[in-house]
Each structure stands twice: as structure tokens, then as C-alpha cells.
Amino acid sequence: MSRALVFASREVRQNILVYLVLSVLAVPFVFPFVWMLGSSFKPAVEVFAYPPTIFPSTLQWENYARVFTLQPFAQQYFNSVYIAVIVTFGTVVFSALAGYAFARIGFVGRGLMFLLLLSALMMPEEVTIIPKFNFVQWARLDNTHWPLILFPIFGAQGVIATFMMRQHFLSIPQELEEAAMLDGLTRWGIFWQIALPLAKPILSAVTIITFLTTWNSFLEPLVYLKDVEMFTLPLALRGFADEFGQPIWEVQLAATTLSVLPILIFYVIAQRFVVESFASSGVKG
């Protein structure tokens, strides 16, 4: 009994230490976000006041109202949302399939194909943007959302997701699958009924990362889109400038806060799946 008490207090002590360390570490992470939030309510002169303040003196809600009057923000918001959703869904589906195949199915040319795919990881958009732009122009798809949907799913983003899926599927014990195969399940069946449910953490991680990357993508929309109504949020944020090109900070920060909210909510929900504790990992030793 006394041994359990000693054990418990050591745990508690360690936990308090961990909390302390984490709290201190969290400060540089969080305060820029808090500043952004606070400044979005400030009147223009306060945003860069010296000495700087985090909290606004008054809550100027009209900053948020102006967000919608200065640009077709609601439309741009919708654009970002539906593009991100489609891209995320497509990426998860295709990368899970491909990632699983690369991890578990032995087929001729697998190694070579995977290495080929890896080469796409190095592709910063700035590198391939010109030929892609020329192609999009030729196909008359400029000023549409098609390039913004297709290129991420199958491009560098999709390959990263495939890579992540593959690594995760590799760490699922093979015994499960071998048992299922002996039971007569087809490869599809194994994928759908065994591998995929075990992949929830990585599926959530891929969803978060893909959604985030698509949400924040700037160069591609800049190059392909022309009309303000077709813009996505990162482009829209740049448009909150006055006639002379100077950013209207308090409105831009309000717009930024609005565009950050869905990802944050999305993340709060999705990360639960990432860290769900696995009592039933199904492996014995």
C-alpha cells in the first residue's frame, strides 16, 4: 500500500514538472496568435501602437463587418472550403490506396514506382509553376478551380500523403493480414476491413495536413485565378489594401482570424482521432 503511494506521488511530481515545462514552452507559440486575435478588434491606430498592446482598448466589431464589404469574402470563403474539402477527400482516398499497396502488396516494379513517386516530394511549386501554367492556359482552365483541385491531389501533396500512409501501414503487424488472407478475404477486403480501421491516426494526420496545406496555398491560386470572386482566402487576404496598396491591417487581421477559425476547429476535432488511445491494438508481444 505504501509502495503504491510512493509510486503515485512520483508520477504526480513528474506530471507537474511536465505541465510546467509545457506551459513555459507554449508561450512563444501562442502569443503571436493572441496578438493577431486581439489586434483584429483594434482601431487602425492601435494595431502598431508603441508600446504595443495585446488587448484592444475597445472591441471594434466593424472591422469584421468591413471584411465582407471590401471583398466578396463570403464567396471566397466558400471557395476555400469546398476546394479544401474535395482535395482532402480525394487525397485521402487515393493516397490510402496507393500507400497500402506500396506497403503490403508485392507487385512487379513496386520499388521503382515508389522511388519515382518520391521524386515528387522535392517539387516546390515555384519550380513547376510555369509549365503547369502554360498547360492550364492551353486547356483553357485558367480562372477555374480545376487546377487547384487536381494538381494538389496528384501532385507533391498527394505524394506526401501516400508516403505517410505507406510508412504507417508498414508498422501494422503482418500477422493480422496473413490470418485474414487464410480466412479467404480478398486484398480489398483486407484493406477495407483491417488495415484502414487501424489507420485512423494517420488518416487524421493526413486529413489535417492536407486540409491545412490546401487552405494556405497561395502561389497556385495567384497564378491561375483572375476574378476576385474566384479567389481563395490567402489571395483574398492580400486584397484588403487601400487604394494605395497599403494593407488595412485591422481588417486584414480580422479576415485572417476568420479564416483561421475553421482549421482550428477542424484540428481540435481531428486530433482526437490522432491520439485516441489504443487499448485494442490487437497485438500480443
Partner 1 sequence: MYHDFNKKRLVVLFFTLMLMVINVAAQDNPIVLRFTLWIPVDSPRGELFAEIAEEFSAANAGVSIQYDYIPFADYTTTLPLQLSGSNPPDAGWLTENVAPTWVQSGILADLSASLLADEAYDFADLAPSAMELWRSGDPIFGVPFSTSPFLLIYNRDLFEAVGVDAPDVMIENGAYTWENLAVALKTIREEAGVAGLQSFNGGLYSGERVWHTVIPLVRAYGGDAWDADNTCTLNSPESVAGLQVFHDMIFTDRSIEAPGEVVDFYTGSAAVLMGQLSGVGPLAEASFDWDIAPLPDGAAGRASVVGQAAFVVFNNSPNRDTAIEFVKFLTNKENTLRIARYFPPIRVSVLETDVLLTANPTIAAKSMKAAVIDATLSGRVLPSHRNFPTIDLTSRAYWDQLWSPDADVQLVMDEMCAAIQPLLSK
Partner 2 sequence: MSAFTNAQHQQKKYYRTSRLTLKERDSLFGYLFVSPMLIGFILTVLVPLGMVFYYSFQTRNMLAQTWSYAGLDNYAKLLGGDPIFSKVLGNTLIFTAGLVPLNVILALVLAVLLNRLMHGSTLFRVLFFAPVVTSAAAWAIVWRFVLQGENGTLNSILGMAGIEGPNWLRDPNWAMFSVIFTRVLKNVGLNMIILLAALQSIPREYEEAAQVDGATVWGRFINITVPLLGPTLLLTTVLTVVGSLKVFDHIVLMTNGGPANSTMVLVNYVYFQAFKVFDTGYASALAMILFVLALGATVIQWQLRKRFIYNEV
Residues within the interface to partner 1 (CB under 8 A)? 44-46, 48-50, 70, 133-134, 137-138, 140, 142, 222-223, 226, 228, 238-239, 241-246
Interacting span for partner 2 (CB under 8 A) from 56-64, 66-74, 76-84, 260-268: 260-268
Q: What number of residues does the chain have?
A: 285
Shortest Cβ 183–partner 2 spacing (Å): 14
Backbone angles phi, psi at 139, to 5 degrees: -85, 5
Write out the DSSP string of 61-116. Answer: THHHHHHHHHS-HHHHHHHHHHHHHHHHHHHHHHHHHHHHHHHH---TTHHHHHHH
Residues 92-131 that bind partner 2 (CB under 8 A): 94-95, 97-98, 100-108, 110, 113, 115-131
Per CB under 8 A, which of residues 200..259 are in contact with partner 2?
Answer: 201-202, 204-205, 208-209, 212, 218-219, 237, 252-253, 256, 259
Residues contacting partner 2: total by CB under 8 A? 101
User: Binding to partner 2 by residue 89, rule CB under 8 A?
Assistant: no
Nearer to partner 1 by C-beta: 35 or 133?
133
Name the grid cell of 261.
477559425
Output the smallest distance, CB 166 to partner 2, in A: 9
Minimum CB distance to partner 2 smaller for 68 or for 94: 94
Q: Which does 171 bind (CB under 5 to 8 A by kind): partner 2, partner 1, none?
A: partner 2
| CA angle 158–162–165, rounded 5-degree value | 135
CB of 123 to partner 1, least distance (A): 19
Query: What is the nearest approach in angstroms of partner 2 to the Cβ of residue 285?
Result: 7
Instruction: Judge contact between 195 and 103, C-beta under 8 A.
Output: no
Exposed/middle/buried for residue 97 (C-beta within 10 Å: 0-12, 13-18, 19+): middle
Q: Which of 27, 21, 19 is nearest to 54 (CA)?
A: 27
User: Is the preceding peptide bond at 51 cis, omega within 30 degrees of 0?
Assistant: yes
C-alpha distances in Å from residue 183, one per residue of 103, 175, 213, 254: 21, 12, 41, 57
Name residue 283's amino acid: V
CA pair distance 253, 257, nearest whole angstrom:
6
* 177 versus 220: smaller Cβ distance to partner 1: 220
Single residue of 69, 137, 143, 281 touching partner 2 by CB under 8 A: 281
Identify which of residues 162 and 232 has a Cβ nearer to partner 1 in the complex. 232
Report the residue from 151, 220, 232, 235 that binds partner 2 according to the rule CB under 8 A: 151
